[in-house]
Amino acid sequence: MPLALPPPVIPDLEKRLPDGTQVVKYFEYALLQKFGFIMDIEAADLYPEQVDVVYSYRRSPYNYSQFVHLSGVAFIQVLGGHKGFLFLTNRLMAPGKVGSTMKSKEHPPAITADDIRQHMSEFCRNEESLQEFYDREIASLPPASAAVEDPPPLTI
């Protein structure tokens, strides 16, 4: 799912975000939140060097950060830039599968996932929509000076 317009480059972005906020692919993550995705697994190269990440169920590290839709019907991995995202329907949510929480026959999980994919794909192909999204995100960021200010010293 390519992006018609790559995310903007904000030179002082790390100074404008609260500590602990992921700066790399910030706009891609914000776009996924807009469409109801939450972090599942972070890419191995985004952890600090002193952190050794090991998954008991997977031998190789994740190359791309992975998000899961709040409904559970889809996963998405972040490639970044113009490349955008990789989308995957969660086939374990199919009717009759163990763990399937979507009981509605009107909205089977695969159809729900496809609706999410189509809606998001249309948005990502539209330069105007992406630019408006980026502009809103940038406008919501605090100024660089406000993010770095230390609180006044504590006096007792």
State the Cα–Cα distance between residues 22 and 94, nearest whole angstrom: 33
> Which of these, 80, 88, 81, 49, lies nearest to 64 by C-alpha position?
80
Kind and range of the H or E element at 74?
A: strand 74-80
The tens place of each residue's pLDDT in the chain, 156 residues long, gives 999 999 999 988 988 888 878 888 999 999 999 999 999 888 766 666 777 666 666 666 678 899 999 999 999 999 988 999 999 999 887 665 544 555 555 668 889 999 999 999 999 999 999 999 999 999 999 887 654 556 778 887
Provide the residue type at 55 as one letter. Answer: Y
Residue 98 has a pLDDT of: 47
Instruction: State the number of CA atoms in the 13 A half-sphere of 126 facing the CB.
Output: 11
Residue 128 has a pLDDT of: 97
* Whole-structure pTM value: 0.77
Instruction: State the number of CA atoms in the 13 A half-sphere of 142 facing the CB.
Output: 11
Residue 103 has a pLDDT of: 53
State the Cα–Cα distance between residues 66 and 155, nearest whole angstrom: 45
